[in-house]
Structure 1
Amino acid sequence: MSMGNEIGAQGLSSAPNAYAGARTRAQSMRAVRAAIVGNVLEWFDFATYAFLATSISKSMFPAGDDFVAMLGTFGAYGLGFASRPLGAIVFGWLGDRKGRKWTLSFVMPLMALGTLLMALIPSYASIGILAPILLVLARLLQGFSVGGELGNAIAFLVEWAPKGKRGLYGSFQQCSTIGGSLLGSGAAALMSTWISPQGMVDWGWRVPFIAGALIIGPIGWYIRRKSEESPLFEAAHDAAVEPDTRSPLPMALQACGLVMVWTVSLYVILNYLPSFVQKYVGLSASASLWWNTGGLLLMTLAIPFWGALSDKVGRKPLLLLGCLAFIVLPYPLFAWMLATKSALLVAVIQLGSGILIGIFSGVAPAALSEIFPTKMRTTWMSIGYGIANAIFGGFAPFIAIWLIKATGSPLSPAFYVIVAAVMSTITVLTLKETAHKPLL
């Protein structure tokens, strides 16, 4: 009996084991390494933009109104997320049909192209309105690429996970995502420490993008091409199993609701906060970026801990713990920070937030994967995640700045985080506990 017929006879639940048995440990580690390394390089380029927003705004927009320049810069930042759902649809569909490995290899050069374009755009002083237009185009291309990255990378890792370790393996995707952001934050902090503020505006902000573009394409593509396809994907497409007739829309809405507090807390507290504390607390650019880098480092270390813990105690208890924290804490912490203007308090908030946001980054990848069956996993997980990021996350800094302007209160971003946490709490309560059940 052929492998495909044997798997069809056994059923899909046993098929992954049959395929995994033919794989060596070295092949498994190559697959995990491909997802992690490529993801680090992708997110280094995508996240660095937020950390250099102040310098980019002065280079790409007309001088004279810092508020308008920052709003335009973070508007372009948000548009990078707006193109993610399109990337999620295109590359999620490809991931469910041509494979996770093939799709992950394909998105790498796209990110490199968008990053290189961003690095080479002349300033507003040189080409006028074309500068912000080209900036938006570069961000759209980056977002399109990242939209295809996340769903395929999560599915690839979770489907390779040994029994009882889906939470841990899924957390590696977010470790690498935050690891890329950490490298971006560290690069921005180093540049702002070594180069004068005017030098950063003139040319310094471009250096990390050039470095990322020269690395991301060839290295990431090569590593991913050498990996192996997910055994669960191969089993699902080779086995004679009945098609899943459930509507994917309710599942995608659950994914979207689950992601809300995760993405809003991340992009308000760890991406926008460095710019916020420079303006309202009086921290220097280098100090705010270094503390932000520390928060990202602690988050990276916390993510696998939370992921592994969810394999033991379940996904829902930890997700509810994280939601509760972001309902209770944002308002008093923002109020205290604005009242004291204490650099030490900012440091504590950024470091502590890294640990708390790590709950979502550690647990949610596996929880999201477990919502969907294998044959539609990358398509609909990518769509649900991409929509939540585009609406609530990518535009979070833009919304925070707009709320402050509209209300006249620097406290208003805290309420945005709280509302997102309430919505995600409602969603988590609708989820079934899936930590100890096989993937479909």
Structure 2
Amino acid sequence: MTLTLSPTRRPVRQLAAASVGNAVEWYDWYAYTFLATYIADQIFPKGADNSLVPLLSTFAVFAVGFFMRPVGGLLMGAVADRSGRRAALTVTILLMGGSSLLVGLTPTYASAGVLAPVVLVLARLLQGLSVGGEFAASTTFLVESAGAGRRGLFSSFQYVSTTIGQLIASGVAALLVRLLDDGQMDAWGWRLPFVLGAVLSLAGFWIRRGAHETRSAEQATARPGLFEALRRYPRASLLIGGITAGGTLAYYTWTSYLPTYAELNAGVPKSDALLAGTLALAFFAVLQPVGGLLSDRYGRRPLLLFFGLGFALLCVPLLRLIDGSFVSLLLVSCAGMVLLTGFTSISAAVNAEVFPARVRAAGIGFPYSLTVALFGGTAPYMGTLFKQVERPGLFPWYVAALCLVSSVVYLRLPETAHRALDR
């Protein structure tokens, strides 16, 4: 039988187990994004005569990873609920390490033909599975590890570590591009970050092995079915979707798409757009614990409404303030990050407080990851689509409208910050 962990014991080790592993997971995920052009040249060459190659390229780069995340949330969430949070965390980080290594060792199209993109698609399937499972397991683990009045603070490290992973991936990719010439990057340089990711995953695995299980002894005997959370708690599942929809769209708009939006619609040079985005991300990481602490003192709902209504009212005017200069983009980016912190810093706590312990991980994992795939993962495509139909000004209204919808959910959400967490 699993021993019960007092949430106040070894909090630093618990935070490290979740945060370091989560940072490694997202480093591996974003490394692919930053190096996609080099991968495409080797795995999906423009002159390939097989018609499957461009099709596989499309799925590998844009769809497969994101739409495997709900499956990962469901499967790894079920592992966390049935076998323990720590067990799920070790599985997800090993899965990400293995898939990262697989990307790094993927043969080129020139040497293996169509097998090369097939291997890469498989690696992205596994990465999506891992990332979806990681959120379900680490969210539950973080919040259950927190002491009284600290669930919001612990929750905030979900996005602290995610952002750190993104920044490290960006930094490693930028360093390699600076140190290696184009021929070296094409030949072997692009593989190095993925091999490094596999090594870092082993370090994260070691840290997580020493963490304490957060399920109670009573919950350790529970064997919930795979779809039990959806079947028994349909309202809670829908609630997770409503809480997440506006937040994930705003998050991916501001952290991933905003530099591209500024380039397309305001003529900001690419180098300035990327620098502004990087500085804003660092600022964003620093804000997260502040938001978590505020929610522990004043409640979750005020912060959620600060985010939702703030974006509903200010998204359109903020994006219109981007005038083509670096300063305007940086200020708009940072202003959006302040508003966004009202959602990101506490989303893990809010989600965990919706479901009972028996099905908490799977209950969070599937509806959250599905909502992210539907709204967050499609944010760049919607922005580009509005630009293609010559209606770029509609995209900010789309973001504002969805944030307003989520704000209605927040208004009706019961306050859970000061309630005891079901264990």
> Fold conserved (TM > 0.5)?
yes
Residue 44 (structure 2) pairs with residue 79 (structure 1): no
**Alignment of 1:91 onto 2:91:** no
From 365, 375, 398, the counterpart of 1:392: 375
Whole-Å Cα distance in 2 between the matches of residues 105 and 321 of structure 1? Answer: 35
Change (3 A) 1:149 1:361: same
- The answer (yes or no) to whether the contact 1:300–1:358 under 8 Å persists in 2 is no
**Among candidates 197, 200, 213, match of residue 212 of structure 1:** 197
Aligned residue number for residue 30 of structure 2: 47
| Bigger mean CA deviation after superposition, 54-63 or 29-38 | 54-63
**Structure 2 spans left out of the alignment, 5+ residues:** 48-53, 223-227
Relative to 1, partners in 2 of residues 1:51 and 1:326: Cα closer, same or farther, differing over 3 Å? Answer: farther
How many residue pairs get aligned? The number is: 412
Q: Distance in 2 between matches of 1:210 and 1:318?
A: 40
Q: Give the Cα–Cα distance (whole angstroms) in 1 for the partners of residues 280 and 246 of structure 2.
A: 17
Give yes or no for contact 2:5–2:212 (8 Å, CA) kept in 1.
no
Report the alpha carbon displacement of residue 62 of structure 1 after superposing the two structures with TM.
4.9
> CA deviation digits over 1:344-365, x for unaligned, max 9?
2222223333333222111211
Aligned to 2:257: 272
1:101 shift after superposition: 0.5
Q: Distance in 1 between matches of 2:392 and 2:346?
A: 31
Higher alpha-carbon deviation: 28-37 or 218-227: 28-37
Q: How far did 1:274 drift?
A: 3.2
Show CA shifts across 1:271-313 (max 9, x none): 1233444455445544333322211111111111001100111
* 1:54 Cα deviation from its structure 2 partner: 4.9
Q: Does 1:135 align with 2:115?
A: no
Tell me the distance in 2 between the aligned counterparts of 1:367 and 1:134: 38
TM-score (norm 1): 0.83
* RMSD after superposition: 3.2
The answer on 1:305 being equivalent to 2:296 is no
Cross-structure match for 1:351: 334
Select the residue among 309, 313, 321 that pairs with 2:306.
321
Q: Secondary structure at the match of 1:229?
A: coil
Query: What is the CA–CA distance in structure 2 between the aligned matches of 1:99 and 1:347, rounded to whole Å?
Result: 42
Aligned residue for 1:236? 219
Alpha-carbon distance between aligned partners in 1 of 2:69 and 2:234, rounded to the nearest angstrom: 18
- What is the letter of the counterpart of residue 375 of structure 2? F
Counterpart residue identity of residue 248, structure 2: T
**What's 2:50 paired with?**
none
Post-superposition shift, 1:436?
0.6
Contact 1:189 1:290 in 2 (8 A): no
Structure 2: how far apart are the matches of 1:418 and 1:126? 48
More helix by share: 1
- Determine if the alignment matches structure 1 residue 410 to structure 2 residue 392: yes
Distance 2:268 2:187 in 1: 22
Identity %: 37
Quick check: 1:161 aligned with 2:146? yes
Compared CA separation, residues 236 and 127, structure 1 to 2 (3 A): closer
Query: Is 1:436 aligned to 2:421, yes or no?
Result: no
Partner AA of 2:417 in structure 1: A
SS in 1 for 2:353: helix
Residue-by-residue CA offset, 1:396-437 (whole Å, 9 max, x unaligned): 2233323322x2233343233223212211221231100111
Offset of 1:156 from its aligned partner? 0.9
What's the CA shift string for 1:378-405, capped at 9, x where partnerless? 0111112111111111232233323322
- Look up the SS of the partner of 1:146 in the other structure: helix
Residue aligning to 2:101? 116
CA 245–74 in structure 1, closer or farther in 2 if over 3 Å, else same: closer
Deviation at 1:245, TM superposition (A): 12
Structure 1 gap segments, 5+ residues each: 5-17
Q: What secondary structure is seen at the aligned counterpart in 1 of 2:346?
A: helix
* TM-aligned CA distance change 1:57 to 1:319, over 3 Å: farther
Counterpart of 1:426 (choices 398, 408, 411) is 408
TM-score by length of 2: 0.86
Name the SS of the counterpart of 1:183 in structure 2: helix
CA gap of 1:75–1:422, structure 2 versus 1, over 3 A, is farther
1:63 deviates by: 4.3
The aligned amino acid for 1:419 is: A
Could you tell me which of 132, 153, 157 is aligned with 1:172?
Answer: 157
Q: Residues 206 and 245 from structure 1, CA distance in 2 versus in 1: closer, same or farther, beyond 3 angstroms?
A: closer
